[in-house]
């Protein structure tokens, strides 16, 4: 087992990649603090993890709520003493809204969830783990954080920002026992599209321009396997990297 005696904190664990990552880490022996807003989904995840080598503990939390999510980290450090692995996975889409059509409300919601959330969580986590033996951060970015039109303006800006945050933390703390990497998934079959309720027709048309070149949709578990590599000592020399997992879409 690759994560025995490790404690992990995974946001957005109620569905999709976060759900798959929590189960994968628990199967490898970790104690996983699974964080999300939908308590009933987290409780179902805890049940699903019965019999695995590690365990999953559910905690309600909204990554866009600075004080609330900081408190969840405070409590987790108090309860477990350490958090070896941090996975900033929670994220929302942006209705494919191009800049001219993007409201302040939508911009703030997407940036607060996808970028400020990971920043606030990294800050609290670093202040817990820097004097605690270090550890590993994994940020779920996106192909939309590497290319200009896989989504709307706010999602694209948020994921480019996450990659910048990843690289900055990676280099700043490289000699202090911290590694920080990002995963850039392509299209993965999850619930994320459910959040697209009233998309911009123009933005959707522009953001779909490259979809014909997409070889296939990925499965959440295929991303969890990359997360496991980054969480474990198998990736001990990997720091500041963005690992693309998109079935070859961006190779075109």
Ligand X SMILES: NC(=O)c1ccc[n+]([C@@H]2O[C@H](COP(=O)([O-])OP(=O)(O)OC[C@H]3O[C@@H](n4cnc5c(N)ncnc54)[C@H](O)[C@@H]3O)[C@@H](O)[C@H]2O)c1
* Residues 162 to 201 in contact with ligand X, rule: CB under 6 A: 185, 187-188, 190-192
Dihedral sign (CA 144, 161, 104, 12): positive
Q: Nearest approach, Cβ of 109 to ligand X (angstroms)?
A: 9
Q: Nearest approach, Cβ of 93 to ligand X (angstroms)?
A: 7
136 or 146: CB nearest ligand X: 146
State yes or no: residue 203 binds ligand X (CB under 6 A). no
* Residues 5 to 64 in contact with ligand X, rule: CB under 6 A: 11-12, 14-18, 36-38, 62-64
100 or 194: CB nearest ligand X: 194
Integer-rounded Cα radius of gyration of the chain: 17
Q: How many other CB atoms sit within 10 Å of the CB of residue 44?
A: 14
**CA–CA separation, 141 and 88 (whole Å):** 9
**CA–CA separation, 199 and 190 (whole Å):** 18
Query: Which residue among 155, 173, 217, 252 is the active-site one?
Result: 155
3-state SS string for the chain: CCCCCCEEEEECCCCHHHHHHHHHHHHCCCEEEEEECCHHHHHHHHHHCCCCCCEEEEEECCCCCHHHHHHHHHHHHHHHCCCCEEEECCCCCCCCCCHHHCCHHHHHHHHHHHHHHHHHHHHHHHHHHCCCCCEEEEEECCHHHCCCCCCCHHHHHHHHHHHHHHHHHHHHCHHHCEEEEEEEECCECCCHHHHCCCCCHHHHHHHCCCHHHCCCCECHHHHHHHHHHHHCHHHCCCCCCEEEECCCHHHC
* Residues 58 to 117 in contact with ligand X, rule: CB under 6 A: 62-64, 89-92, 113
Q: Is 155 a catalytic residue?
A: yes
Q: Nearest approach, Cβ of 217 to ligand X (angstroms)?
A: 8
Size of interface with ligand X, in residues (CB under 6 A):
27
57 or 90: CB nearest ligand X: 90
In the stretch 221-250, what mask flags binding to ligand X with x, by CB under 6 A? ------------------------------
State yes or no: residue 142 binds ligand X (CB under 6 A). yes
27 or 90: CB nearest ligand X: 90
Q: Nearest approach, Cβ of 172 to ligand X (angstroms)?
A: 23
46 or 130: CB nearest ligand X: 46
133 or 212: CB nearest ligand X: 212
Q: Nearest approach, Cβ of 177 to ligand X (angstroms)?
A: 26
Residue 131 token pair: 């004097």
Q: Nearest approach, Cβ of 84 to ligand X (angstroms)?
A: 21
Catalytic residues, which ones?
155
By the criterion CB under 6 A, which residues form the site for ligand X?
11-12, 14-18, 36-38, 62-64, 89-92, 113, 140, 142, 185, 187-188, 190-192, 220
């Amino acid at each position: 087992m690759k994560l025995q005696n490790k404690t992990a904190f995974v946001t957005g664990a109620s569905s999709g990649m976060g759900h798959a990552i929590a189960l994968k880490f628990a199967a490898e022996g970790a104690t996983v603090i699974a964080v999300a807003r939908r308590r009933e989904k987290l409780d179902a995840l805890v049940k699903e993890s019965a019999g695995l080598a590690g365990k999953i503990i559910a905690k309600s939390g909204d990554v866009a709520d600075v004080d609330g999510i900081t408190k969840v980290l405070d409590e987790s450090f108090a309860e477990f003493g350490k958090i070896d692995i941090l996975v900033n996975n929670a994220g929302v889409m942006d209705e494919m809204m191009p800049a001219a059509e993007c409201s302040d409300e939508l911009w703030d919601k997407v940036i607060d969830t996808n970028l400020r959330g990971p920043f606030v969580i990294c800050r609290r986590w670093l202040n817990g783990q820097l004097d605690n033996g270090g550890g590993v951060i994994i940020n779920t970015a996106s192909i939309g954080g590497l290319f200009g039109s896989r989504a709307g303006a706010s999602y694209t800006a948020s994921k480019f920002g996450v990659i910048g945050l990843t690289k900055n933390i990676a280099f700043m703390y490289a000699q202090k026992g911290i590694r920080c990497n990002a995963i850039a998934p392509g299209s993965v079959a999850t619930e994320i599209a459910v959040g697209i309720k009233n998309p911009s027709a123009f933005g959707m048309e522009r953001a779909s321009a490259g979809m014909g070149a997409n070889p296939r949709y990925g499965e959440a578990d295929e991303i969890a396997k990359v997360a496991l590599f980054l969480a474990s000592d198998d990736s001990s020399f990997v720091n500041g990297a963005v690992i693309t997992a998109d079935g070859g879409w961006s190779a075109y």
